[in-house]
Amino acid sequence: MGAFTVRKKPSYVRGLLRDLSPNKQLERIVDDGMCIGCGICESVAGADQVTMQIAEDGSLVPHAKTTIDDTLIDQILGLCPGTKVEGLPERLVQPDSQYDEVWGIWRQMHLAYAGDEQTRFRSSTGGLLTALAQFLIDSGEVNFILHAREDETIPAFGQNTVSRSKEEVASAAGSRYGPTPTLKNIVGVLDQCEATGETFAFIGTPCDISGLRNLAQQDARVDQYCVYQLAMVCGGFMKPSGLSNVMNEHGVNADEITSLRYRGYGCPGPTRIETRSAEIIELDYLDFWGEDDSGWDLPHRCKICPDGIGDATDIAAADSWDGGAPDRQGQHSDPGSNSVIVRTLAGERLLAAAVKAGFIQIESSITPRDMDRFQPHQVKKKQAVWSRFVGMRAANSVVPDVRGLRLKPLARRNSIAENLAQARGAKKRAKQLLRD
């Protein structure tokens, strides 16, 4: 195992915001583009103090309904994935865990897919996350899964959901590429577990996992009742304005959408849109997102994400296309295999048990260099983020406090010119945000 040291640093965010009132501090997280819309702030504050609301630009952000106090904002700054992101907790790193500068702590890497054909077909990639969740319910190891499904009122969004049966888990399969507040009721879920003794597994984005790991530092019930933390590798979600633009190009008004399945039913499967006029539109993945990723209109926070790879998860699941995207032919014929990073002993035990019970099929073992091939955009971003943070700090922007994510050594892989260009670009974008 290579060198892996975590040094404690004074909080940049708290220093930057210290002269602002608690309400203004919350606003700055949003104004500086650091809010990801996970909803953890609403959950800890209570909806009478902070609620997630749709902003003018269509994004989902917190709104303070009262004058919030210093204690609450302090708690939020310590929880928010926009202000604090850390790698795998040291207590979960074993002496025989492996370390890669890009991909972090890992114990196993595989190509794998759901043993059940329908699960593999309907899920986002190979159904690994759905199959693990179904195994956990079927084996009785957990009582429920906290994850996300299509939002009932805004179909482009996701909403948090609790699944207690294999069928419920299956019905939430697929990727939600719109705003998704998976942690909006996490404190309520923990209260319920405390009362009943139930345990659960969590599936979310790496940002959600950051929020959950941050909460575990304040609330011991997270580690007591949430026995697995699973995530997809995440390149960022689609801004509602980006979705409107893509839909306009295809002659659909985004307000008319009544159902939206981004992926699944094949790998990646078509994006399927139903409208109020009962029209059904199916777009190939490459037509929806653009051949050159031009459809990926990412929120600012996603562009500067220090952890899209699920550094702090038990297991992270991703796609496995060479070069990071399917080709025209492959997008119709790929049965779907996840690339899988197992990071913890718990994750290792879970995967082995799910394989033994037939819920998961392992195709082959892979290495961090295979992950580089499958996720070139993640490698590029991980190497760019340190310089982007330098630029954002120069613009006086909120930048998350990070630990254990290897950003500085990764930046050293770039030339000085590349790092300067990243810093300048980020500074310009951050200044623009502060002006808007």
134 binding ligand FAD? (CB under 6 A): no
Report the residue number, 229 or 419, with the smaller CB distance to ligand FAD: 229
Burial of 355 (0-12, 13-18, 19+ CB in 10 A): middle
Please give the helix or strand (H or E) that residue 90 lies within, else none: none
* Paired tokens of 317: 């699941």
Exposure pattern of 53-91 as b/e (b: 16+ CB <10 Å)?
eeeeebbbbbebeeebeeebbebbbbbbbbbbbbbbeee
In sequence order, the β-bridge partners of residue 108 are 342
Phi, psi (5° rounding) for residue 11? -75, 120
In angstroms, give the least distance from the CB of 201 to ligand FAD: 10
366 binding ligand FAD? (CB under 6 A): no
Q: Which of 25, 43, 83, 130 binds ligand FAD (CB under 6 A)?
A: 130
In angstroms, give the least distance from the CB of 346 to ligand FAD: 18
Distance CA 242, CA 290 (A): 12
Please give the helix or strand (H or E) that residue 337 lies within, else none: none
Q: Which of 28, 84, 110, 147 binds ligand FAD (CB under 6 A)?
A: 147
Token look-up 């952890």 returns 307
Contacting ligand FAD within 369-398 (CB under 6 A): 375
354 binding ligand FAD? (CB under 6 A): no
Contacting ligand FAD within 153-192 (CB under 6 A): 158, 172-177, 180, 182
Q: 424: Cβ–Cβ under 8 A, 6 or more apart, which residues? A: 391
124 binding ligand FAD? (CB under 6 A): yes
Under 8 Å between Cβ of 171 and 152: no
Report the residue number, 173 or 379, with the smaller CB distance to ligand FAD: 173
Contacting ligand FAD within 211-270 (CB under 6 A): 232-235, 237, 263
CA-CA distances (angstroms) from residue 248 to 179, 251, 276, 279?
19, 5, 15, 15
Interhelix angle 128-138/345-356, rounded to 10 degrees, is 80
Which of the ranges 142-150, 210-218, 293-301, 406-414 carries the binding residues for ligand FAD, by CB under 6 A? Answer: 142-150
Which of the ranges 27-35, 48-56, 144-152, 393-401 carries the binding residues for ligand FAD, by CB under 6 A? Answer: 144-152
Q: Which of 125, 143, 337, 387 binds ligand FAD (CB under 6 A)?
A: 125
In angstroms, give the least distance from the CB of 148 to ligand FAD: 4
Q: Which of 73, 137, 318, 354 binds ligand FAD (CB under 6 A)?
A: 318
Hey, CA dihedral for 393, 401, 348, 108, is it positive or negative? positive
Q: Which of 37, 82, 87, 204 binds ligand FAD (CB under 6 A)?
A: 204
338 binding ligand FAD? (CB under 6 A): yes
The residue ranges that bind ligand FAD (CB under 6 A) are: 123-130, 133, 147-149, 158, 172-177, 180, 182, 203-205, 208, 232-235, 237, 263, 317-319, 338, 375
